Structure 1
């Protein structure tokens, strides 16, 4: 749910109109970071793990039907990104949900299965093991949060070079630009079965939606209108949970980094991929990283260097 990740940017607006304390009281926390034997050492800069939870438990049967998500209440993740802030960033790196990586205690499987098997702590540990990066901060948004935030904004504008139709997600877009409500925005970022790029195509749409929500949220029509800002802030804060050590100052720092990426600063990339759509006996079709490319990318992040961008998107 990438739009909900950007919903954290609303904290910039709440601070601007004197609602900083109001927002701070509403920040929700979740246990996500643990020390363990073999944990990667701290690197330079700050690494956020940004997660969109695919839990359907909060949805009514009518909402599940309308949003084309079915009745499965298994907790998985539609969005997994690492946001690195440092001297050269910010860098936003997407980890496709079908990435085939070791999950502690569960063998090699899809990275998004770690959340369903052990929640935020196991997902964080899995990402740390797969990337070699220490995760310093964690932010998660719930499934319904995307719908509520986009609707609170009055919709967002999305543009497509070619039609996108996916019966399983409910996406039905002609080529061109569209004003999109929360339900359609959710279908837009969840679509992958009708996309020849599969999970990789969805990652690109996630980042597109990030930019669209950021533009709308940080525009004067929201920031300087308390009657619009308060509902947006309330929806965003209700959707988000962060690690126990993070609060409003950390969210504001993250918001500034996300705003910069959305405005074209820093860089956005996907972990280099060697083979998408590889069939496995236990996990179905998975995506294999390019080991050398991933090593160079995460090695650069670890020492806060300029990342290699060739082959990452």
Structure 2
């Protein structure tokens, strides 16, 4: 009887161990096969497809990291299925969903900026080196990260801007195209000749090297102010850059001002004169004096 019980115990132990070994072998085989297929077949295939579609290197690097993590998770899941533990997948999926929901609520701003960074890199509304304007701010883009973009202002300050702010608001990119149109309003007196002033403005624009001849500069009467007639000059510059734009604009305005001075064209400015009188009521003053005297007594 003892030998029979011992033999039964040994057989049960061997059967249990063999079951464990089978589970371990199944997990290892499932994990290794899934990992190798994902790493050397799926990930390179996805990367080649994205490269053909012209995705940025930053996006490709990010997707490599994400795909590598997904391959590991998938390999672990397949390994447990091959080992005969399907319940583990259910529990892991439930726990993962709860964790993802909690992380999503806690880091929604971070995730929003991250997604916005992906779209900025993909859509390219601006690139590194561009001069941009947004929400009364302006500067030159120094770096575009997945979470923030760094902009160097023209006062030599650095602004770290969350990508969500740039993706969800209007951003002006003055250097997106090869040319840029600018406008400036010159004011002349009501007694001055508009045609003479217009000719002077156009001729001075044509003499500035940074202003294009095609499209040609033009002038329109746009304002009838309190003390001046507004003539709006429209001109184009080539290969717009803020330094060149500011320099060209300054040279042009100075040239027109000097031309107006030579031809006697007035550039009036708004002036106001305050008129009125100050009236002193003696009765009120006497009442005040008497009241002070009564208080002294």
Place the TM-score, normalised by the shorter chain, in its bin. under 0.3
Bigger relative contact order, structure 1 or 2 (CA pairs below 8 A, ≥6 apart)? 1
Whichever structure has more strand as a proportion of its residues is: 1
Which of 1 and 2 has greater Rg? 2
Whichever structure has more helix as a proportion of its residues is: 2
Normalising to structure 1: TM-score of the pair?
Answer: 0.17
